[in-house]
Amino acid sequence: MNEAWSLISNVAQVVGMVLIPILAWTLHTVIAHSKQLILLEEKVNNSLNSRLMNLESKFDVLEEKIEVKMDKIEDSVKECQFQILTALKTKDDV
């Protein structure tokens, strides 16, 4: 029975001598890579945010231009309607 416990103790010591450094190195590597991934994610997010802000400003400018064009078209249509109505009215008067 003592031999079995001795064998188990020896196996546990060998496993501890090999596994603990490997696990420590793996944990250290995972932590280092996770920090790098966090930094990379922040850089990507900042880049995406700046691009989105640029797109939003471009769309705002386009929206303003479209509104100005629509207002001009409305004014032109109203002027044409007025001219047509006055032309029809003068034709009816003659």
Q: pLDDT tens, 22-33?
A: 999 999 999 999
How crowded is residue 9: how many other Cβ atoms within 10 Å of its Cβ?
Answer: 10
Which whole-number Å values give the CA distances from 29 to 23, 32, 34, 39, 46, in the listed order? 10, 5, 8, 16, 26
In this prediction the pTM is 0.54
Percent of the chain with pLDDT over 90: 71
